[in-house]
Amino acid sequence: SEGGPLYDRIGPAALAALVRAFYARVAADPDLAPIFPDDLTVTAEKQLAFLTGFTGGPPLYHQRFGHPRLRARHLPHEITPTRARAWLACMAAALEATPQIAPPEARELYAALERVAAHMVNTPDTP
Ligand code: HEM
């Protein structure tokens, strides 16, 4: 990483814009929409709180909801390799649609999320 926490280089407004752009794509994605709630308001709030701490900002998710235990929290959902790819594709598109986040920060955040997404896979694709 170049020049301190990602959060300081991205800023809260751009991070919130990213989360909005991301869930707009999730809601429209045929692989992802079926496993998410119809109303993504609370999901998006939790994700913004999580990403704030994840990028080195205030630990809002921990403060509001406790330890993230992300893999455990995802176990009730069938996270297949296909869905992980769809999640990452939504994130890549959301980053491109959020010009407030410059390419170096976008690349760094995406690379970090790629690692987390791989860790969330808990179900094989059905052949
Ligand atoms: C919650 C799917 C990856 C962070 C959820 C929920 C689903 C889901 C279905 C529940 C939504 C709800 O009921 O509100 C997926 C899929 C992924 C993925 C298909 C593909 C790999 C990730 C990654 C992160 C993440 C990489 C980290 C940035 C979260 C958070 C929540 C959540 C913070 C809210 C947990 C809570 O209920 O407190 N995800 N997720 N997810 N996901 Fe993911």
Domain boundaries, the chain: 6-120
For the cut 70, the answer to whether the pLDDT of residue 11 exceeds it is yes
pLDDT in tens, 34-81: 999 999 999 999 999 999 999 999 999 999 999 999 999 999 999 999
Can you tell me the distance from the alpha carbon of 125 to that of 127, in angstroms, rounded to the nearest whole number? 6
- SS3 at position 22: helix
- Between the CA of 99 and the centroid of ligand 1 the distance, in Å, is 24
Predicted TM-score (pTM) of the model is: 0.97
- Between the CA of 36 and the centroid of ligand 1 the distance, in Å, is 9
- Fill in the DSSP letter of residue 4: S
How would you label 68-83 residue by residue, b for 16+ Cβ within 10 Å and e otherwise? beeeeeeeeeebbeeb
For the Cβ of 46 lying below 6 angstroms from any atom of ligand 1, the answer is yes
Ligand 1, closest atom to CA 113? 26
**The CATH number of 6-120 is which of 3.40.50.970, 3.30.70.360, 3.30.70.3270, 1.10.490.10?**
1.10.490.10
For the Cβ of 69 lying below 6 angstroms from any atom of ligand 1, the answer is no
Please report which confidence band the pLDDT of residue 18 belongs to, taking 50, 70 and 90 as the band edges.
Answer: very high
For the cut 60, the answer to whether the pLDDT of residue 1 exceeds it is no
- Between the CA of 124 and the centroid of ligand 1 the distance, in Å, is 17
Please report which confidence band the pLDDT of residue 3 belongs to, taking 50, 70 and 90 as the band edges.
Answer: confident
For the cut 80, the answer to whether the pLDDT of residue 2 exceeds it is no
For the cut 70, the answer to whether the pLDDT of residue 29 exceeds it is yes
Q: Whose CA is nearest to atom 7 of ligand 1?
A: 36
Q: Whose CA is nearest to atom 22 of ligand 1?
A: 117
